[in-house]
Chains A and B, each alone.
Chain A
Amino acid sequence: MKKNEVPQDNSNLSKSNVKELCYAVDENGNYTTELSSGWEPKSIALSNSMDDIQERIEMAKLQYQKGEVSSIAYFMELNRMDVGILSSYVGMWQWRVKRHFKPGVFNKLTDAILLKYARAFEISINELKNFKPD
């Protein structure tokens, strides 16, 4: 990559005024660094990921409304977690966490267990128990 070819596209980075450092060669073939405000192929990949996350959240919300899953499943997606990450935050096995996705099981959970989830999602037990999607 040549120094004058370091991409300066608009991106999520440039919106937040963050620039990243790239390595590139100058006109004499010597390596130097140049700041980049963003690169389109990368921005698209990132916005694809964001869309994907949004879709997962919407899907979880819908399933929650239909009574197919507990609010834990929704808040897990909202916090961009998967079962592995969530189980690590609450300190329980993955199969237990997955079991807590079942509304029937969820309704019988003690406050001590609910508190672990509430802490992981940084919400109150009340919000976890009585989640009302808008």
Chain B
Amino acid sequence: MNTNFTHHQSAHCENGVASNLLKHNGLNISEPMVFGIGSGLFFIYLPFIKVNHAPAISYRPLPGQIFNRLAKRLGLKIKRQKFSNEASAQVALDENIRRNVPTGLQVGVYNLSYFPDEYRFHFNAHNLVVYGKTATDYLISDPVMETVTTLTHNELNKVRFAKGAFAPKGQMYYPIQVPEHIDFKTAILKGIKSTCRDMLAPMPIVGVNGIKYVAQQIKKWPTKYGTKKANHYLAQMVRMQEEIGTGGGGFRFIYAAFLQEAAAILNNDRLNELSSEMTTIGDLWRDFAVEASRIYKNRSTQSDAYNMVSGQLLNIADREKIFFKKLKKAVS
């Protein structure tokens, strides 16, 4: 069985699945649009939670939130189901394929056999689409891959029931209703305002303040944890920022692309200027990654180097604070 599904590669899995599923349902929406309306840009620093033995830093909201917000703001109806066991999860998925409904799944990355070994970590917030089934395999459209691929029945069951943080519990989702007329303007404004609110949140570990807080902490890492651990923490941070799915620069470039698209729809030239400003900020994030990589490449110990990357981050935090204040003004 095979649904007539078209695969488009995207930078980020959740936006990509959302955009691909909606395109299949007749709503032509780009990945940056999904990301922007769903308020995908975010920053949070959780030093008390460890991921890969380093403090958790996330450049995005919780899994599922982007698509949920998008659906709410565009008036789409999305059906989401979780399952208590593999058998019923498989029955439900097979039923969808039989009804010709390509279906989004939340999965764990560790057992995705088509990923290079280096990318196989216990990370459970990956998303892909199943669009068909053969006697042995499921047909998979993984938005971060260039082309479609397959997983055996057993492999798919395993990744759907991966364990650990954000365990997917077989979660599947698909749009069940897409309205005829969609008010993109209002949805875009809502998305932008919500992102400004998140990034300017008056909390120490969230948004711009969170970036500032990390910047101040980084300076202390070498003395507090020793060079080796500090370097590991820094490397993990760069990975979160630049890993597959971010489109580079911790999602800043996708967001800039969204602002450019939004400028045309809203007829708001100010957003075009802000788009290129966001691109510049994205470049600063890339510069930060380059400097940070020098530190962990040379395994250097000078706290000078740590002070320098800390300074770069502080500068980014300052610029983003100004940026999001301007953005808030531009849409109010």
Contact = CB atoms under 8 A, between A and B. Distances in A.
Question: Size range of the interface on B?
Answer: 35 or more
Nearest to B280: A1
Contacts of A24: 248, 253
Interface of A: 1, 6, 12-13, 15-16, 18-25, 29-31, 33, 35-36, 39-42, 44-50, 52, 80-82, 84-85, 88-89
Interface string B97-127: 0000000000000100000101111100000
Closest 8 CB pairs of A and B: A41-B293, A31-B257, A23-B253, A88-B163, A85-B164, A16-B116, A45-B235, A48-B235
Given A19-B146, A22-B11, A1 B236 contact: no
A31 B290 CA distance: 23
Contact of B289 (A41, A50, A89): A41
Given A18-B116, A20-B244, A23-B253, A31 B145 contact: no
Contact of B164 (A33, A40, A89): A89
Contacts of A30: 260
A46 B248 contact: no
Given A46-B118, A88-B167, A22 B243 contact: no
A13 B292 CA distance: 21
Contacts of B275: 31
11 contacts: A1-B286, A12-B116, A22-B253, A23-B254, A31-B256, A41-B242, A44-B235, A80-B120, A81-B122, A85-B163, A88-B167
B257 A45 contact: no
A80 B146 contact: no
A35 B11 CA distance: 9
Contacts of B290: 41
Given A1-B282, A85-B163, A48 B296 contact: yes
Contact of A23 (B9, B239, B242, B257): B257
Interface in B236-285: 236, 238-239, 242-244, 247-249, 253-254, 256-257, 260-261, 275-276, 279, 282-283
Contacts of B121: 80
Interface of B is mostly: helix
B292 A41 contact: yes
A49 B244 contact: no
A29 B263 CA distance: 13
A52 B234 CA distance: 13
B144 interface: yes
B79 interface: no
Interface in B204-250: 231-232, 235-236, 238-239, 242-244, 247-249
Contacts of B296: 44-45, 48
A15 B296 CA distance: 23
B165 A84 contact: yes
A21 B249 CA distance: 13
B253 A42 contact: no
Interface in B174-201: none
Given A39-B242, A89-B163, A80 B253 contact: no
Contact of A88 (B164, B257, B279): B164
Contact of A20 (B11, B122, B289): B11
A18 B165 CA distance: 27
B238 A31 contact: no
A15 B119 CA distance: 13
A67 B157 CA distance: 36
Contact of B248 (A23, A45, A48, A82): A23
